[in-house]
Amino acid sequence: MRNFTVLICLSIYSTLFSQNNFFRNDSDPLFDGRFGVTIGATNYITDASYLFSKSSTGFTVGVLGTAELSERFELFFEINYNKHFVKFVGRENQLAEPRDIKFNLQNISIPILLNYSYLIKDDYKLGVNIGPSFDLLYNYNLVNESEFDYVLDPLYVEPYDLEFDTRSDGKISFNMFVAFGLNFQYNERFMTSLRYYYGITDPYRNSPVFSPVIDITGRDSYFAWTFTYFI
């Protein structure tokens, strides 16, 4: 089901922007559109009340379409596949020494951002952007399957308890972030962006973990540094 959803999203997006004219209005040349491919690195930060975590570098790949509203304003529409890497503090058993347990978190993000180019000079543009990002899927997976029987501090949670989508009868998690950042464009072909995503929803609301002393809540966030080439 998840793979089918991903394929449908990417197919629709590619169809809309493949000819670079989805947003074009022949009577108004300002509504020109561009289509690009993106690759970059992420740094995911978990803030769950019942886990001790450390952030690590992950990666993101995706596609980006634009709609030029004016010389300075532009809309960005993106679909990105993200694979974040996170370390949780755990141990082989409750009496063992703590160590870092590696997980990956895969999801699909769909940011819709308004970009403002506040500095335009020759072939260069420097801009800021902000908008919502809608995220599908939320499932932590162990990198090393031999650590399946380990427990995670401080509540000795089992790694299996972090597989939220797997444990929700195949339902796909939906979360929302607010994204904002900076970008630098050159010659309408190249763009690099540094962006921060702040979580609005609580992704741990689907957690099966219960504690009489700690509320099972959290708000995640992450940074993304990306490069885009417009075709």
User: Can you list the domains of the chain with their CATH numbers?
Assistant: 2-230 (2.40.160)
Sign of CA pseudo-dihedral 156, 158, 159, 165: negative
Q: What is the pLDDT of residue 206?
A: 82
Q: pLDDT by residue (tens digit) across 73-86?
A: 999 999 999 999 99
Q: What is the pLDDT of residues 111-124, one digit of tens each?
A: 999 999 999 998 89
For residue 19, count other CB atoms closer than 10 A to its CB.
10
Position 172 pLDDT exceeds 70 = yes
pLDDT attached to residue 67: 94
Give the long-range contacts of residues 99-102, CB within 8 A, separation 24 or more. 100/54, 101/142, 101/144, 101/147, 101/150, 101/152, 101/159, 102/56, 102/142, 102/143, 102/144
The per-residue pLDDT for 31 is 53
* pLDDT tens, position by position, 180-218: 999 999 998 999 999 999 999 999 988 888 888 889 999
Mean pLDDT of the chain: 86
Q: Identify which of 71, 143, 59, 67 has the alpha carbon closest to the alpha carbon of residue 100.
A: 143
C-alpha closest to that of 183 among 198, 170, 194: 194
Quick one: pLDDT band at residue 169, thresholds 50, 70, 90?
Answer: low
pLDDT at 37 over 90: yes
pLDDT at residue 108 tops 50: yes
Between these two residues, 10 and 85, which has the higher pLDDT value?
Answer: 85
Mean pLDDT value of segment 96-111: 95
Position 117 scores a pLDDT of 95
Q: What per-residue confidence (pLDDT) applies to 18?
A: 47
